[in-house]
Chains A and B, each alone.
Chain A
Amino acid sequence: MPSLRDLRRRIKGVQNMRKITKAMELVAAARMRRAQERVLAARPYSDEIASIMTELMRRSPQYEHPFLKVSDVQKRLIILVTADRGLAGALNSNNTRLALSDAAKTSIPVSYVTIGRRGRDVLRRLHRDLIADQSMLGERPTMGDVLPAARVAMEQFERGEVQQIDIVYARFISVGRQQTVLQRVIPVVPPEDAKAVSADFEYEPDPKDVLDALLPRYVEAQVYRAVLENAASEQAARMIAMRNASDNASEFIEDLTLTANKVRQASITTELMEIVSGAAALEG
């Protein structure tokens, strides 16, 4: 049986751990709320741009912007979005695993662009073809922070290096649920749920030019939205992970306290027995 002193020391240790996980839980909860607000704030823009695009593509179906052209895939690119920090449950490994397993499905070579340190580190360790990385965006990523990664990906496509671009991130469904998804970025698939604009538009200069200006922005908005969603998912996952850790610590402390009390009682009983038997021996 461990000594009482060891047990007390371990209880102290676990209590300290619980303080940290508890604090991390609270911080993650506060950050998650803010991250959720940012996801909501970005929604009007991406909805609007999607509905304009759907309308434009309906209007000029004969025009084939390179981003719309579906061709034989010789090589593909995956944008992998992860968090910069760990301790967020299975979030980062889920994202990375989905990207790698999707890449392994076919023999088509894949290159990667990463947003977030965790994914970058894994891909680097596995010696994957990592062409660009945009990490340490901080807590409040702006569109400008995300642009370089999106631009690199689009450039690869425009130069004909790759024929397909997907993005992997964790979609924020609810606090308790985040879903890792792989989404097509290019060739652009018009969103089906976008509301149609019911007006005959005049285009200045003409539909083709508007579409040319619109498509890169649509792609950027998609990447930005993925980053925001992933940030909200990260905080939610961390909050849950830290809550579980705190709960486990509490349970552990209870167990240890029980054992410590038993040990204490046992030693008191032994001491009493010794005193009693000593006295009995003296009486003789």
Chain B
Amino acid sequence: MAKLQVELVTPEGRVFSEEADFVLAPGVEGDLGVLPQHIALLTPLRTGVVTIRNDDAEHVLAVSGGFLEVLPDKVTILADAAERAEDIDEARAEEARKRAQELLAQNVDSEEAVMALERATLRLQVAEIRRRRHGHSPPPQ
């Protein structure tokens, strides 16, 4: 079967560039699953989890905001920021979440704290998915 060329780029650089069979992305109107030969599509993304599947391999990435461009043989994700699940430092994400929650407890209408909380929660979520898939073995050093 034909494959999709998947590119995930952020302003800081290319995060992911590989072939895949399937891409799941959080579009603003709802989650989108993309298979090869999909109709050309362009949509903004929410902050969320992107899942990329190729044969038996699966990649999970945390993506905050951006765009999804779909062509029949190519998927480009322009993210404001993206992180591979294996690069996420859970302890740090947990700490960041606590910090953001404390900030929010003190100062209710800080947009930055809300976004920080969203990001930290997302990171933990992605790390969690990865852990479940790979059993409970600690990440390779």
Chain A interface residues toward B at CB < 8 A: 38, 41-42, 44-46, 48-49, 52, 56, 142-143, 197, 199-205, 209-210, 213-214, 217, 220-221, 224
Contact = CB atoms under 8 A, between A and B. Distances in A.
Nearest to B7: A44
Contact of A142 (B9, B12, B40, B41): B12
24 contacts: A38-B12, A42-B13, A44-B14, A45-B13, A48-B76, A48-B78, A49-B78, A52-B67, A52-B78, A143-B10, A143-B11, A197-B69, A197-B71, A199-B40, A199-B72, A201-B41, A203-B41, A203-B43, A205-B28, A210-B43, A214-B44, A217-B78, A217-B80, A220-B11
A204 B78 contact: no
B2 interface: no
Q: What range describes how many residues of B lie at the interface?
A: 20 to 34
B36 interface: no
B9 A221 contact: no
Contacts of B78: 45, 48-49, 52, 217
Interface of A is mostly: helix
B12 A204 contact: no
Contacts of B80: 143, 217
Contacts of B40: 199-202
Contacts of A210: 42-44, 67
A224 B43 contact: no
B12 A41 contact: yes
A224 B41 contact: no
B44 A52 contact: no
B43 A143 contact: no
A66 B13 CA distance: 29
A201 to B, nearest CB: 5
B55 interface: no
Contact of A204 (B7, B41, B66, B71): B41
Contacts of A45: 9-11, 13, 78
Contacts of B12: 38, 41-42, 142-143
